Structures are given as C-alpha cells and as structure tokens.
Amino acid sequence: MGLWGMTPVAVADDMRPKQWYLDAMHADELWKVTTGEGIKVVVIDSGVNPSIPSLKGRILKGLDTTETEGEETDDYSGHGTTMAELIAGAGHGKGLQGLAPGVKIVPMRVSNADYQKNRRVNGQDVAEAIRAAADSDAQIISMSMGSDYSSMEERAAVKYAHKKGKLFFAAAGNNAEQGNKPQYPAAYDDVVGVASADNKGTVSHYSQHGDNVDLAAPGDDIPGWCDETFAKYCGGDGGTSSATAIASASAALIWSAHPDWTANQVLRTMIDTAGRDWAKGTRSVYLGHGLIRPGQIILDKKGDPGAPDVSPLTNEKTGGDIPANGTPTSSAPASSQAPQGKPDSGAIVAGSSSKSMDHSGLPGWVLGAIAAAVVIGGGAFAAVRKRRSA
C-alpha cells in the first residue's frame, strides 16, 4: 500500500514550493548543466497518464504486461504517474516538477495487490516488464513497487537487465514497523535498493532497513496524485516510492552530463559521493552508502567512476559496459576499489551526525543517518498476494 496522506491539496496550488528537496539539492543550478536530456527511464508501476500538463510530450511508447483491460497509459491508481512526474515532470499546470525534466519516460504497467483483487492478471507481469525494459533503449529502470516474495523468473529478468547495461533502482519498502521483510526487486544483488529520508537527512520511521539498502533519497512530505481520477494531489509522505523516483532522476542527470559513462560508473560515483558520517566501503543498515548528492558529481566534479565493467554492488565484472551514448567502451582498470556489494562484507553501521553538507550536496539536509535505533513493531506481518506500491 502507498503512504500518500489523506489531506487533499488543490490542483490549483503550485506544487513546486511543496517539493522541499529541489531547493535543497540546488536543482536550478543542476539544470544549468543538464536536465537529463538524452536519457530514458522505464517506470514499472501502475501506468502513466500522459495527459496531465506536467507530462505532456514526455511519455514514450511502453508496454502493459498485466494482460487485463487497458494500456500502459491507463494508470489505475495515480501512483505511476506521480513517479513519472517526480522524475521528468515539467511543472506545467502547477503540477509536480521533476528533478530531471529533460528525461523521457517509458511506462511499463504491472499489477499491485489492490489491482489483483478482482482480476485475473499475468503472474509474471513484473518479470516480463523488466525484460522488456532490458531490451529497450532506455538506460534506467525505476520501480517504486515491491513484494515480499522472490521468484526465479524475476531474478533471471533482473540479471538479464544488468547484463544489458541497465541501472535499476527499486524501493526498499515502507513497512519497517510492520515486519521489515525484504522487498523484491530491491533486495536482489543487481538492484539499487533505495531508502527514504526526511529534510534533516534522518531515515524515515517507516523506511525498511537491512543489507538490501544501497542508497537513500528524499521521501518524506512529498505530494502525489490521490487516485486514478487525477482530480487533486494529496499531501503526505511519498515514502521509498518517491525516494526511488528521485534517485532515478539523479542518476539520469549524472548520466546525461557524462554520456560516455556506463551504469556501473554512474552508480559508483553516486555511492562514492553519497553523504554519510561512517567509513567509505561500509553501509548503514538504514541509509546504505548514504544520501544521494548529484551536485557533488555534476557541479563539483567529484566522484571516481572507476572501471566501466565492474559492478559497484557486487564488485564483479559485468557485461553491462554500454554507456548512455551507445558507444561501447573498452575496459579500463578501476582507479579505486569498488564499494562492497550485497550482502556487505564490510561493517554495517547506523551512523548519526549533525554536520551539514556543502553547496552541491544538500545544504540544510543533514548528513546523519539516525538519531536513535528504529524499534521494530511487534505483531503478525500481514502478507499481500503479490506486490505493493512502496
């Protein structure tokens, strides 16, 4: 289930002031360098409505794999459209402003638990969507959905996408206080699991944690469409869903600015420059390698891309050495050791700090991970049939 708040926000309201992280991340400065042009992002979700003002002209042909009525442009919940808008929205019509407004979105519609209640759906819709994304010319896959259950088909599809050179972000999940069970695809080795943080850089109380978390991004207090009617936005927490979209948009900006890099190199620089107060090469169970800071790479020219064909998640050689410009690169020796993968062979810590980041890193967005340990709530964990929006 999603974490959208129940407080309606009038569509007539301008959403930009409610997107606190854009100013914190110095989006206006980033856009002077790149808006993500030349990058395509596959959004695997409930569908994407291409008719809202903020997304007009930004949605490409995708695929519906549910085998039900409707197409990939028929968003049955509003969730997928929100994710697409957070990535690539123009902010037109006072809508959501995307962090990477020059990006094109390729929608892949799959089912969530609610959609499955009264329908017969394709049980392998996510695996098929991932494979279709892998075969597309999109560079990034963003999936703000998750399931408690892994499958051989889905795992194989993720491996296939990784070999095809895709950079795959997925939500860590919003059930830290209701069982904290690992979510898939975020928990797969070749997927970047994204946690949620608030405007102080503190892990969100609901954000799931463990060795499946690789990076963290803003997720608290981010508005989104209330439902499939697209009549109004709702205020509240976007959760790890929004964090995943924002992480994907950050990667798109970086890749657009460095089109000769591969997915491995884009991700390695994101990990290398992530905001943290624990040792590099170790991970917080709450924020992974730390808080995303695309400005460090795009504006301050920091971050070591390293080898094009070594995964920073697994530290293994990959076949995914295709850069955004499509011109294969020759293998180069890594100029720095790739961070350890999942599960982490280094220490897994829970850091805290009150230090502020520099201008390209999120001024006002505090570096620390958590002020105190998250207490896991007791009681039985309610399993869903399949997957939920994160």
Polymer length in residues for the chain: 390
Q: What pTM value is reported for the model?
A: 0.86
Whether the per-residue pLDDT at 315 is higher than 80: the answer is: yes
pLDDT averaged over the chain? 85
More confident residue, 376 or 328: 328
Closest CA to 330 of 251, 259, 260, 252: 260
Distance (Å) of CA 159 to CA 82, 155, 180, 215: 27, 6, 25, 20
Residue 302 has pLDDT above 50, yes or no: yes
Does residue 360 have a pLDDT over 60?
A: no
Cα–Cα distance for residue pair 325/259, rounded to 1 Å: 5
Q: Give the residue-averaged pLDDT of 338-343.
A: 43
Q: Which residue has the tokens 């964990």?
A: 381
Tell me what the mean pLDDT of segment 320-327 comes to: 77
Check pLDDT > 80 for residue 149: yes
2-18 per-position pLDDT tens digit = 343 446 665 557 899 99
- Enumerate domains of the chain plus CATH numbers: 7-389 (3.40.50.200)
CB atoms near residue 117 (< 10 Å): 9
Tell me, what's the pLDDT at 37? 98
As a whole-number percent, the residues of the chain with pLDDT over 70 amount to 81
Q: State phi, psi for 7 to the nearest 5 degrees.
A: -90, 115
Residue 366 has pLDDT above 60, yes or no: no
The 3-class SS string of the chain reads: CCCCCCEEECCCCCCHHHCHHHHHCCHHHHHHHCCCCCCEEEEEECCCCCCCHHHCCCECCCEECCCCCCCCCCCCCCHHHHHHHHHHCECHHHCCECCCCCCEEEEEECCCHHHHCCCCCCCCHHHHHHHHHHHCCCCEEEECEEECCCCHHHHHHHHHHHHCCCEEEEECCCCCCCCCCCCECCCCCCCEEEEEECCCCCECCCCCCCCCCCEEEECCCCCEECCCCCCCEEECCCHHHHHHHHHHHHHHHHHHHCCCCCHHHHHHHHHHCCECCCCCCCEECCCECCECCHHHHHCCCCCCCCCCCECCCCCCECCCCCCCCCCCCCCCCCCCCCCCCCCCCCCEECCCCCCCCCCCCCCCCCCCCCCCCCCCCCCCCCCCCCEEEC
pLDDT in tens, 27-80: 999 999 999 999 999 999 999 999 999 999 999 999 999 999 999 999 999 999
Nearest to 225 by CA among 58, 64, 84: 84
The tokens for 266 are 């884009």
- In this predicted structure, what is the pLDDT of residue 324? 86
The whole-number average pLDDT for the span 101-118 is 95
Q: Write down the pLDDT at residue 76.
A: 97
Q: Which residues are catalytic?
A: 45, 79, 241
Cα gap 161→127, rounded to integer Å: 10
- pLDDT at 181 exceeding the cut of 50: yes
Rounded CA-CA distance 350/56 in Å is 42
Distances (CA, A) of 363 to 181, 293, 297, 342: 33, 10, 15, 30
Q: Does 238 score more than 70 pLDDT?
A: yes
Burial class (CB in 10 A: 0-12, 13-18, 19+), 335: exposed
**% of residues, the chain, pLDDT over 90:** 75
Query: Quick check: 292 pLDDT over 80?
Result: yes
